């Protein structure tokens, strides 16, 4: 088991009308949300990178998706398949998304705006960077 992430239950209410889940800024996550983006209509594997500083909270509003998390030595595979559970990544971890079922739709809440210099796009570079940090 690796560290640097955790699964968080998202508050939800379900009644005869359907379900409602929510994330309130300053409540569920220990970071201010600076960027929100979503992924959908997956054609092939996504991810294949790590972030040096960025924290993310990822949840799947529809369908199923596997996210491989790797610290450079060990890895875990997390399946997101419920709109009331999210994956909080708070340390630099390599991530790859695969096994898309039932037209998955992901929403990502990020701790910072897009910064190209925060990305590590090569797994070998990631392992080298981790060994020096």
Tens digit of each residue's pLDDT (9 = 90 or more) over 18-43: 999 998 877 889 899 999 999 999 99
Decide: 47 and 122 in contact? Cβ < 8 Å: no
CA distance 128 to 105: 32
pLDDT for 117-131, tens place per residue?
999 999 999 999 999
Q: Which of the residues are catalytic?
A: 49
- The third-level CATH classification (topology) of the domain covering 5-132 is Jelly Rolls (2.60.120)
What is the value of pTM for the model shown? 0.93
| Max CA distance (Å), the chain | 54
Confidence of residue 132 (pLDDT cuts 50, 70, 90): confident
Query: Tokens in use for 83?
Result: 């709109």
User: Given CA atoms 120, 51, 115, 45 in this order, what sign does their dihedral have?
Assistant: positive
Confidence of residue 110 (pLDDT cuts 50, 70, 90): very high
Domain spans of the chain, in order of start: 5-132
Which pLDDT does position 68 carry in this prediction? 96
Query: Tokens in use for 87?
Result: 């994956």
Complete DSSP assignment for the chain:
---SEEEEEPPEEEETTEEEE---TTTSSSS---EEEEE-S--S-EEEEEESS--EEEEEEEEEEEEEEE-SS-EEEEEE--TTEEEEE-S--EEEEEEEEEEEEEEEEESS---GGGEE--HHHHHHHHHH-
Burial class (CB within 10 angstroms; exposed 0-12, middle 13-18, buried 19+) of 60: buried
């Amino acid at each position: 088991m690796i560290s640097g992430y955790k699964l968080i239950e998202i508050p939800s209410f379900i009644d005869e009308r359907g379900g409602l889940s929510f994330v309130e800024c300053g409540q569920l996550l220990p970071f201010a949300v600076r960027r929100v983006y979503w992924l959908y209509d997956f054609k092939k594997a996504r991810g294949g990178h790590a972030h040096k500083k960025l924290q993310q909270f990822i949840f799947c509003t529809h369908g199923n998706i596997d996210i491989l998390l790797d610290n450079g030595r060990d890895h875990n595979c997390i399946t997101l398949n419920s709109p009331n559970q999210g994956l909080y990544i708070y340390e630099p971890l390599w991530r790859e998304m695969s096994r898309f079922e039932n037209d998955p739709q992901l929403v990502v809440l990020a701790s910072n705006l897009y910064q190209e210099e925060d990305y590590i796009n090569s797994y070998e570079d990631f392992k080298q960077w981790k060994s020096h940090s």
